[in-house]
Each structure stands twice: as structure tokens, then as C-alpha cells.
Structure 1
Amino acid sequence: MERYLHRALCVDACPEAFYHTSEMTCQPCSENCHLCTGPDHCLKCTSSYYVSDGVCVKLECGEGEVEDPDYDDCMACEEGCKKCVLYNPRHCLSCIEGFYNFQDGCYKYCPAKTYSVEEDMTCVPCEDSCVSCDEHECYWCETDFFLLEGECVSACPDGFYGNDDTNDCEECHLNCATCGGFEDDDCLSCNEGKMLENGECVAVREVCPVQTFLSDGDECVDCHPTCESCSGEEENQCTKCGKGRFLTLQQTCVSKCPAGSFASQRSGVCEACPRGCLQCLDAQHCSRCETSRKVQMFLQNGQCVKDCVRGYPAGQMCHSCAAGCSSCEKNATHCLTCDKPFLLHEHQCVDECPSAHTVQDRKCQQCPTACRECTPLGKCSGCEENHFLQEDLCVPSCAERFFEDAERGECLRCHADCALCNGPSSSDCDACIDPEATLHRGACSAPCPSHQYRDSTTGECKAALFQWLTGSCQTLLLHSDASDSSLEKDAPLWFCFSKRKKKHRRCCVCVCVCVCVYGSCVDGCPTGYYAEESKQRCEPCHASCHSCVGKQSQQCLTCKAHLFQEAKECVETCRHSHYGNAVSRTCEKCDPSCAECSDGGEDGCLSCVPGLVYLRTEGRCLPSCPEGYYHDSAQHTCESCHVSCKTCSGRLSQSCDSCYPGYELSEGRCESGCDPGQHPVIKGSGIACQECDSSCLECRGLGPSNCTVCPAQAILEAGGRCLLCCHPEEDEDFATPQQDCCNCTETRGQCILSTNLPFRKEEEEEARGNLTIFIIASVLLVLGLVVVFFLIKHSRSKGAQSDLPPRGYTKLGSAGGFGSSSKYGGYTSSSSASHSGYTSSAGGRFQEAELVDISGHRSVTKEDEDDDDDDDEDIVYMGQDGTVYRKFRYGQLGEDEDELEYDDESYRFR
């Protein structure tokens, strides 16, 4: 067994705050580190520090927070605390504004038996026996005390009696020296010359003395010593008791009335307390209520009630709600309903609702997202800046077939002809609803008939011209002569060429419903471009657009692959309350409960709208936290209770509100009568104790998922299991590493669940990498050989067709009009010209096309040759870069033909 040297001693394992080295020694961890595996790899820090990148960092808590020694995190102080004491968040050192300081606590209102001092926001205690007071006098005394001239006395002086109803000292009847009430028969003693008889002071006459009774033998016999007057000599034959004693129903005199009754100063009798009252001062003032499993009674204003009125229960008493609050829970300021005319907003009673809220059932309800104003039914009537009202909702951009009216802040419907628009008129269209319609100056018109185009100035349909020109050109947008300078520079497409040695030129003009792309006339722009009507050209879209209707970033139709489409704009990140759909690549709205989200489901929230709390473990926003969680008011999240609690008010083990079966709540902790390492099990009417699982030090039930305290080096995860830290490498101390483990590199005392995967050594990884490279190279080599084989086979099949005429270029026709063609030297001449991958059809429209093999496949007749000889022409074609090249006639020269003059001319389009 390995042993390690530690301070000149050999030990089996290094102690806490030390780690073992390869030299078999124990070395100290870094400063403030409690558990580590190396000098720069701390796993657990001392109190007030947390682990960050393997080192311990000082915990800095904000206002209203204090260090949590159990979790190396910050926890909230008691409500109202600005700063509190470590280990005791209820011990306040200072209070936030609006709270009073009293005995290490902060209060919204000063507690009973104190009065407030506004100058320094403190609560000052009243005199010991006073319940309610100010700095000058007492107004209400404790039980068994009476108010006399602003002070509390335990007994009223002679001539006064204690009024139990008002707890005041009041004057006796003038015949009485002392009394129990204000009537003349309430005397307890008489002035000189008077004698007491049945409570009245009468003139002295011959009677039996006090504490005697007249027997049947007309003798005065002594009463029992406890009786002042009696009907017999037994203890239970008293008829009246002396001072300080009270007559019970059993006719005995006692100094303290039994439970369920009170000593009536007026009658001197023990009278029954009201129903449900265990102890009382009088018939109207209960001091303690009965409690049982079936019935829970609470003390409120001297009465025992089942439900607190205008208050909330705490312990066995009802505490009053704050001013304006008609019902509350948890504390005085957590209102449920409000007095009129107040309105309920976030559990506070306010004079009026804040902006973006509406009143419904005397409650402030938040308007939908981006609403500035809304109706009680939750329909928007006004929107925030940069939002528009559409169908009772506020949207950042209007839907299709609507446009944004910035002045009214509304989305108004486009004209029926428009798919996209910027105004209500039929001439405000940006795109047409009819895909065949033509957009001209914002108006959508039916398409022109075949062989016609729409004039960009007048909007009228005119005959489309595409022909060879000679002589006058007035009707073809050209000047009267046919020289180079005669060409209209604004014509959509033009190019010229010469015929052999002749000096005159012939020009081709494209006049159609078209635009110019790389020198070609097309009737639709390719992806990434839009038709700029004023220039009759295809202009590039904004860099963010994949397709568009204009150059602006707000005119996209589709987006680049890495962007999301939001209305007509392409963005990297969707706006608030929206998320990017990775499939449709659009920004879609989150669930109504989410302020931010990762998808559109109700369990995809990242944060919540006001009024809801975030349950991070499920990604949901809820009205309140479920069982086993508590509401963190600072973060508006549901955090897990300590595993020993069923419900709680905080994360600590002493913050429990209720417990699991077999446990009892004691000062905020859930405790059982079992020994450490055992848990209670209910059997019949009794409770037995069983051993915890071997992975737990303490637990709340059977199995490894009910741990509450873990052994050293193990961390308690939220599911109740004790797990070790994940090990990136195989550790000799762990022969079989467990699958589930805690990621201790990022934790602050909480278990971040991970999976411990086996890692291979570097030599194994290198060998596997070399094998992978070899396999990939072999597959690529085989595929390459297959491709070469098919290419050779294909070329041989081409060679078998050597008797066919050579391939050529498409040749421009000589005759005006559409559809005419001629054959020459095995090459086709046609009015369907191919340019830059676009082919013109008889209808004047251009579609994207591949290069077509136009080799002739029939013999050329003599008649054909004669026809072509009359009007021999050059061949014009266009390169992909937009340059127009002139080629010469094809085939062999005839005997009577002169040798051609070859000038290598080219023309580039603007």
C-alpha cells in the first residue's frame, strides 16, 4: 500500500488542504483551498471563497446578500436587510430605505410594544407592561395590568377598580372604600361607619362576622379558610371569595382560574372563555387559542378565528396587513386584495397602475409585449416606440400585405394588388400578389401580350424589337445613322460587328421587359440580385440578403445561410421575446410566458415575463414555485430547497417550512428521532429507524437518491445522490470510475452533473489516428481510379463519332423578326441567341440555360449555300465576363471567293 510523507510522518492519505505528489509527499494546496489535486487545481475552497478555473476567488456579495457558508455562494438576507451577519441572514446590521431597525431586525412597520422614531428610522420599546405607546404615554397595557393616567399598574389604588373590558382603572362608587365595579353593590370594603353586606355598604348592625355563617342552631360558625362568605363549613361551600380569590363552578375559591375560564373582577367568579379559546383575559379578549390536527385557530384582536381577517397567520397569531391591504399572506406587505380605491400591483396596493398595465378586477394586469396601452381584455390600443398595432397586438414590423403607418403607429392593409407595399394606394406596391403581373412605378399591371414590352416612361405595352438594322433607326431608339456614335448609350443591351471588308455596321438592340446581367438581356434577375427598373439592370442585394426586392437591408425576401429572417430584414440575433428557428431560419415568437427563449415551446424559456418565476431545471415560467422549490425574489427564479425539506423559504437546511413523513419541523429544520446514518420509516401507527444507503452519511429515505449529508470528497447533487468529482484521467484510486459525477471545475459547492468517460492514453490515440488516415486515403484512391476509368471509357465513345461535323457557336440571324433561322456549313443560325448562360425564346423571355450542342446533323444543300452566299455574316458570341467576340464564317472557301480579311475585334458592354 502506498504511503505519503507528511511533516516527517508516513500517512496513508494526505490530510485536507494537502495533495500528494509523484514523489510520494504531501504538499499544501493553494491559499484558501480546502480540497485540491494539485497546486493549481482546487476542487473546494474555504468559507467565503469559490472555485474559478482551479483557483479560489473571494466571494463578493451585493446589497441585501451575505456569504452562504454551506454552498460558497451568496444568499439573501432577511427582508429589509441592507447588510446582515454571516451564518445568520436574519441578523441585520443595517436596513434598506423604508424599513425600521429594531433588535437586529428590519421591519416595514414597528412591532408590537414599540413605537417608531422617524428621524433615525428605529423602533423604541415601550415600558415593560405596555403594549402600545408613543414617546409620551402608554395607551394599552398587557394582561393583568391596568392603565392609570398613562401608566400601567398591576393593581388599581383604593377608590379605583380595574375595568377588565377597557383595562383602565376607574373610580368606585362613593359608598365603597374599595370595589370590583362602579355599582353600589360592587363594594369590596366600606368606609368607616359602614359594613359590607352582599356587596353593599350598609349601616352597622348585629350580624355574624366575616368568614362565618349562621348555622341552623343560630350560631356563627367559621367558614373554610378560603371563603369570605359561605353556606357551610366545607371547602366547596363558598358563596364569595376574599380579595385575590375567585369562585369556581364547584363553589371553591381559587387564586388562579382553571384553563378555559377567566377571573372576572366584576363578579369575583371564574367565568368561561369563549369557544375555541384556551386562555383569556375576559369574554372579549382571548390570549391563547386551542390547536389540534383537525382545527387550527389563530389569535386575532383577542378572538380565536380559523382565518385571519385583514391579516396573515404567523405561529398561532394573526398579524395585521399593511395599510390599504385588505388581505395578505407571508408578510404584512405581500397583499392579495386591496381596500378601495387602491389597486393590486405585484402584491402591493397602489393608487394607480403603472404604464403598460390595465385594470381588471381591481388588479393591475400587464399589457401584452410592446403595448403602451391596452384594454381590460388584454388587447393593445397603443404601442411602444418602433412597434406597430396590428390585430390588437404590437409588432416590430408589419406582416405581408400590410405597411407601417409611422404617424398613426399602426399596420394598415396594402392595396389588393400588392404583396408588399409602402402605402395604401394601388401605386404604392413593392411586390405584386400576382406572380405574372408587372410592377411599374409602384403599380401592378397585367403582363403584356407576347412579343410586347412595357414602356418604362408611359407604362404602355409596345412591340418588342430584336432585329438587324440598316438605314433609318428612329423607331428603334437609335439615331438616323448607323455609326458607333449613333447608338443610344442608355439602351438596355447593344453590340455591333462588321461584315468582312464592308465599312457600314449593323447594330442589335434589345428592347423588351428585361434587365441587363453581365451584358445579357433577361426577364428575371438571378438569386442575389434585384431588378433596378430605372436602369434596366440587375443590381446586387444587400450583403445580408440571399434574395431581395431592393438594395436596402429591410428589403430581403430570403437570407444568407447564417442569418435569420425577421420580417423583411436578415439578422444574426433575433429581437427580445423571439428566437431563431434553425430549420426555417426565421425569427419566431417565444411562448407568451417567456421573455427570452431557445425555442417556441413553454419549456424553452431562458427568462420570464414580469409576474412569473423561472424554473431553470425545466426551462418553464410559472405563476409560483412547485413543491421542493422556493422563490428567489432577487432573481425571480425557483431554486431547489435543501433535500431535507418538503417546502421551504430558502436553500439552507434551517429554512424548511414543512417536512416529509416521519420528520418534525423544529426551528426551521426537519428532524427525526433516529440516530445519524438512519432514517425514519412509518410502520402502522409507529415509526421505526432504518440504515441509510452506504453512499450517504445521513438520508431521508431508502436508496442512494435520498441522501441529505455526504461523506468527505463527495458532493450532494439536486437529485439527492452523493457523487464524486469527475476525473479527466484514470485514477489508480478509482478502479471502476462511476458514470455519473460532478463537474467540480465550475461548481461553487453545487453538483453540476456530468458523465465520467474513460480516456485512452496518448499512444493509443496516435495509433487510432494513423489507422483512420490510412483508411480514408485508401477509399479516396479507389474512388479516383473509378473516376479515371469512366472518363477514359467516355472519351472513347466520343471518338467513335469523328465523322460528324465539328461543333460550333450559335450564329446571329440575318432576317428581322423572331424565329427565323438558316443553316451554314453545318452550323445553325437562329434568332434564338445564347448569351452568358441565358437563352431567348420566341416570346421575348429569357431563361437560364446550359450551353447547347448546336452541331448540324444533316447535309448542306447547294441551295442552302447559295442562300447564305448572298448574305454572308460574321458570328457574334459573348464570353462569361461580358465581352462580345466576333468570329468569321465557317467551312472552306469556294473557288470564286476572296480570302477573308480577319480582324480580331471585340466589344465590351458597359
Structure 2
Amino acid sequence: MSSYICNDNRCPSGTVCPFYASTGQDKMCRRCKNYNCASCLSNVLSQCITCNQGYFLQDWTCKLCQAGCRTCENDYECTSCLSGYKLDQRYCYKCSDNCIDCNTYGDCNICGPGFFTEGGPNCHKCSTGCVKCTNSNNCSACFDGFELGGMVCKTCSIGCKTCNKGVCTSCRYSFALKDGNCTSCPENCGKCTAEGSCITCQDGSFLKNGMCVSCGDNCMDCKSDSMCRLCKERYDIQSGKCILNECNDVNKCTDNKFCARDPAGNKCVTLPKNCVDADISGNCIRCENIYGVEDGKCVYCAVYCNICISPKQCTKCYENYFLKNGVCTSCSDGCRSCESATKCTRCCLGYTLDQDICQKQGPRECSKSKSCPSGKFCLYYPWISTCETCAEGCSACSDIKSCTACIDGYRLHEQTCVKQICTDSKQCHYDTFCEILPTGNICTNCSEGCKFCSTATKCTRCNLGYSLDGDICQKQESHECTSDKACPSGKFCEKKYLNNTCENCREGCTTCTDSRTCLQCAGGYFSSKGTCQSCSQNCKSCRDQDLCYACQNGAEMVDGLCAQPVQRMSGGSIAGIVAGLVLLVGLIGGAIAFAVARKRKVQRSVQGDLEVKRRISSFKQTTTAFGAKSRSDSIWQSLLVCDELGGLRYRMSWVGKWRQSENEKLLVGGRCECAGAGLERKGCKIQKQLG
């Protein structure tokens, strides 16, 4: 029976029983696809479970240990060594030739079969055929095919495994014992009878009519000479034949070789110079760095180019260069790698990155004997040392991640300084409280409607429009007015505890802040000490009750007041006037005499009038100089000039401060008042009341 037929789902090393195999079916072992597998998944032959000696398992693949390792955890740590190597600190050191165990000093403890040691590092050969001896002349055991005679080994006959005094007692593989001699079995037999009939066949043959017939080249097990079931290692079955596959997707070629794929069998072929991968024809399809493919060969990339598709198509530049339009361009001074000429990402030694630019460093800033200032730590390298800033809020640190003390406003939490903008609620705004958090204390808003609070759920005082209910501020009925919601004209916002309301301003006021303070009066009113007073009758706009700027209801301005126009006289009134004129003529005669008597006095009065005219002229010039203009609208005042006796002489219009001489008098509101220089309007003492 073939050793490659599944027996209780067990197969030789490097093969596996298929997952679909069952009783009554062909349970032929299948070879793992990875040549270094000792066992693999039955349904995924390319995934190893265990590895051959000298390999370790990584990601379902068997990879080579370092030289001398029997087992290892990775490619640099051995756990046991092959015979002839010594394990020391996870490394296998080779013993001397033919030594299977030695100490760390190189002295051999045990020599291999057929050799002996004399205590030194070397192993010495025993006599011919001797497997165990203490010296070259003292043999105690012999190899197969020899027998011990005295202290030397004597050769048995051909094919004999053991013999006694020249007579064979057992035979080698593929030999049969007959009459004390070993005779050779027929070709390809593993075991046969003395008569020469095959019992078992060697690998690569099958039993047919007592003879072993070859399966064919490189076949290890078959049903017939044309139907191979299992090939030798590195051969695959194709149409019942074994085809050499030195390499495949799982089993790679060694360095400097590539897997040339061919239907007749894949072979490892030496790569062209500077090539890392090639096609079946040997044309390079991928080159080493600094080389690009051109006509199937590897040629140098363009200057400063590290990796290229072709000499004219660069994909990666050397350090200190960046790629621009397929060409490598130099970075700025001190820049080790960059994205553009103005954006550096890493600096050369002796430079520091500062806002995308590499700034040249000065001499050493710190050492073991020269510490850094507060808030910095010493970043030390064999070639340079700098004082680097600790993390935010840190006043002392050993490195960027290990803070030992914090500045004011921060506190230490697991070697990190967390921001602490408050220690209690007194340091926070009135509508916030100090919340203690692992990442830093912060002022957090109170709940809605809360003016003062100690926690998010404990309010002590509420905002306007809210009332305190336990520790919570409950919203009251909505306000009629707020700071963002004004009252209509003629009203002001009365702020109350529970509800703001719009209240009326005082009579005549259109804009006020409260019931006592008016900011703007309605038409027909004037402002006086924060209140609105009514203008005189028929006055539309005035400064006070005696000085009207504009009239209404058809009234006319007369002496600063508004009066209704005079009605047309009737016929009776005209007759009365005629009678009066007759009486007047009678009185003229008497008046003439009186006039002569007062002539001298009148002359003096005329001279006084002229002086008044002169002063009025001066007064007009003065007012013009102060910006007054001849206008007759509502902002002008009508003023009357009085003589010394209080009689009406002249009238003029003017606005502003009084700038007249000290002797002039003005008729204001039915009163004759002086208007001395520098006096404010109506600031003159009353001289005489007119009748």
C-alpha cells in the first residue's frame, strides 16, 4: 500500500489529506503548494499550518530561519538549533566539523557517528566502519554492513545489513535474505521474497503482477505508468504527468532570479542587470531604484530621480528634491524633503522647521550640565541639542508627553496640564458656574432663565421673566416688552418682576424713558426740565409759551405769538371812523401849539432814533458775523426795539445770542426788556411794562 494514501487522515510531511476525502473514495494525499510546509490546510493548499525544520510560520507562509536554526520565532531569534550548532542568546553558533554538541567556548562535547573527541574543539575519525570509538584503535560499535571483530570493524557481504562471522543475518532495503546471503530484489522493489517476487515498491513505482513498474519521471505515486497521483517536490501534475515548476505564486525564486512561466514548467531564470522582475522572455518589466525600463532593459533615471517608470518619467525624487511636471527640482536650503519650493516638510540636520521653512539652528542650547529655562525641556541628540517647548500649560517637563508642573490656570492630570480657567464660581460670569472636569475646569452656562447658580441643576436667582421653583427657574408669562422688543410711540417699558408692560408717557410726550423723563415732545408742546409744556394758543411749534416758531389754524405770527387775522370792517364801522376823523381835525389845531412847545424835545428824540438805527445796523452786522440769516420761518424770533420811553420804534428778526448795545431795549412777549451785550436770550431785566 502506498504511503501517500490517507491513513486515518494522516499523510507524510509536506502533504495533506483532502478535505473532501471519505471512506470508499480515493484518499490520496495531496502535496502542499508551499514547498516549505510540513502541513497545510486541506482546503487551501497554499496556506501552511506547520513548517519544515529551519522555517517559521508567518501569515500562513513558511519563512526561512537564520542559518543553523531548527526552530525559530522569526528570522533573527532561534529557539533550537540543528545538530552541530550551539544555541546562545537566541543565536545558533556552528560547532567544529563533525561535532554535534559543543559549549559556548567552542569545545566539542559530543562528536557525530564515526568520530571521537579528545576534549578539544575538534572531532577525530574512528577506524573504517566504526560508528563509536574512544580512539582510533578502540572501536565499540560498527555501522550497518560491518561487524565488530576484536576492536575493529569488518565488512559484511554486499547487501548485508548485519552479519555474524561473515554470514548475513539481515539485509538492506531492496535486498532479500537467502541461505545466509542477501540477493538483490528486482528493479524498483522495496521489499521482495527470496524467490524475487516484489512485495512492496519503491516510491515512484506501482505493483503489477509481482513486479514494480515505474510511474514515470518525477512521479512518487501512481495508478499506472500514465496516471501519476503525486509528484516529487517542485513538480505539478499536468495531464497525469509531472511537470517541473521551480517557482510559482507561492514559491518565489531566490535573489537575482525571476520565475519564467511556461506551460512546460516554470523555471527560475537569472534577472537582467538592475532588474527586479521580468516577463517570460527575460525582458525586464520593473527595475531597481534609480533605473527605469527602456526596451526591456534597465537604464538610469533622470538626474536626482530615485524611482522612474522610464528615464523621462520620474515618480519619486531623491531627498531634498520634489517632483514638478515629471522633473526633480531642488528644495530650499536646509530642507530635507518638501512638497514645493516654498513648503518644506522635514529639515536637514542643524535646521528647524518654522512655518514651512527650515531655519538654521545655532550652537547647542542645553546639555546634562546646562538645563533649559522654565517651560522647556532638552531634546538631546549626539549631534545637536535644543530646548523645546513643553506642552501647553506646562511649566516643567522631561519631554513633550511628561509634564511635572503646570503654570497658573492649569492643573496636572496624568502627566498632562489641563486648562483650568476657574477654581470656584466666583471667578465666572454671573450666569455661569465653575464646572470641575478631568480635562480642565471651565465656566459653564447656568440653566435657562438662571442668573446665579452653583451647579447646572441648582439655581439661586432667576432672570427677569422667570421665578425660582426649588432650584429651578420656571419661565413666567411672556413680557409685553423687552430690551429687544420696544413699546409703540408715546409709551415706555415698565420693568416689573414677573411681566414687563408698556405704559403711557405724560401728555404731549412721544418718547420717554419713564413717567418722569421725556426725550421728545409732540407738536404744540415744548420741553422744559424733562416734561412737555403746551405752547400758546394756535402755536404749532415753540421754544416756550412766549416764543412761537410756527402757527396753525390760520393764525399769524405777531410779536412771537400766534393771533387770528383782523376781520373786514362793516359800513357802520366805517361811519364811525369818519366821525372820528372830523373830531381829529378839530384837535389838530390844539396839537400844533403843543408840538411847537415840544419841538426841541422831539429833535433830541430824532437824534436818539438815529443812534438806535446806527446800533441796529451794527447789531445786524454782528449777527451776520455769528451766522444769522434773513429768514422768516418758524425758527426766527420777532423782536421789537423800544426807545427810552418804551414806545415802539423799529422791528427786526434775529436768532442766536443777544449782541446789542447796553442801552437798547427789546419788546418781548409784551414786555420791553434790555438786551445788553453778552446776555442770553430773555436774560435781561424788565425795564417797563407796556400798557
Shared fold by TM > 0.5?
no
Q: Which is strand-richer, 1 or 2?
A: 2
Q: Which has the larger radius of gyration?
A: 2
Q: TM-score if structure 2 supplies the norm length?
A: 0.19
Select the structure with the greater relative contact order (CA < 8 A; seq sep ≥ 6): 1
